[in-house]
Amino acid sequence: MTAGKIGFEEHYAIPETLEETRSFAGDSGKWDVFSQDILDLGQKRLDYMDQAGIGLAVLSLNSPGVQGIPDAARAMSVAKRANEHVAEAVARHPDRYAAFAALPMHDPDAAAAELTRCVNELGFKGCMINGFQQVGDPDNVKYYDLPEYRRFWATVSELDVPFYLHPRMQIPSRAENYEGHPWLMSAPWGFAVETSIHALRLCGSGLFDDFPELRVCLGHLGEGIPFGLWRIDARMRFSPRGYRGKRPLGDYFRENFHITISGNYDDAAFRCTLDVFDNDKVYYSSDYPFERMQDASDWFDNTDVISAEQRLKMGHHNAVRLLKLNPR
């Protein structure tokens, strides 16, 4: 077992966001255990970490979290409660936990201010945002390539912390193509579709020309983008309408994105990701409690796709550098 691994797609909930996870818990008989696991920031989670060889978990609020709260004032209230709650857990177990900030993205300036507070006052390592933000009306959504968010991205760049773009389901009013197949909207397929489109929008918006040092994290071995990246760039030579980047899209994706293995424990997909990505930008994570820590570690610790040296790099050293952790 590779000990001392660092995971940073590791989720928690607070009572205000707990019910949003019910549909992901499996059959109804598993809800009691699942809800206990995602609410727990104490010994039970630490025991699971010990059994899986995880030394440090960077905790983040469950999806969609505050991104699913259209009212800006309520979303900010919930975000601050979540951030204070997880900060207390980190203070109790500073050698085992760190945190990503939950941010309401209705207003770029308010989001930037809360991120600044969390990083500078609470010691958070960055933020995890659960996809697009519902704003005002539940059917009104915003993606973060929009020009109004440049002020927020300026703050992320100045703070020099990673932004983790995490999946969420599409809202029903925009999901006609899933009609009759609700299973498609969730983790089996729709999560990757929504998150990859959002990531590609960021690449195509000129964002990384304005802020070349930005670091955006994606889970699940890159939400399918590594597999399709060659074709994206090849076809963009013929149909670049609306593309605002100064360089090929693949350049931005390889340089500005960082990829975790969370919830995608497949040798073939792993090989593809490593063929596309520098292994300095690939990381261990488990996606707990939506996945079992032990399953993630059993695969990562034993796959023959990587060497022992690469396993240590992706399991530990890369995260130390990205998150500016004290070496252990």
Give the per-residue pLDDT at 22: 85
Q: What is the mean pLDDT of each run of 10 residues along the chain (328 residues)?
A: 88 96 76 94 97 98 97 98 98 98 98 98 98 96 98 98 97 93 92 97 97 98 97 88 93 98 97 94 97 97 97 97 86
Which regions of 238-306 does DSSP assign to beta strands (E)? 257-260, 282-283
Annotated catalytic sites, by residue? 287
Q: What does the CA dihedral 183, 188, 286, 24 come to, rounded to 10 degrees?
A: 0
Rounded CA-CA distance 212/257 in Å is 11
pLDDT in tens, 119-164: 999 999 999 999 999 999 999 999 999 999 999 999 999 999 999 9
Task: Please tell me the predicted confidence (pLDDT) of residue 240.
Answer: 82
If you compute the radius of gyration of the chain from its CA atoms, what whole number of angstroms results?
A: 19
The pLDDT of residue 29: 75
Model pLDDT, residue 11: 98
Per-residue confidence (pLDDT) for residue 326, from 0 to 100:
82
Predicted local distance difference test score (pLDDT) of residue 231: 95
Rounded to two decimals, the pTM is 0.97
Confidence at residue 238, expressed as pLDDT on a 0 to 100 scale: 82
- For the chain, domains (ranges, CATH) are 5-323 (3.20.20.140)
End-to-end CA distance of the chain: 17
At 26 the pLDDT is 67
> 213 — phi, psi (to 5°)?
-95, 0
CB 199 within 8 A of CB 223: yes
DSSP bridge pairs for 129: 165
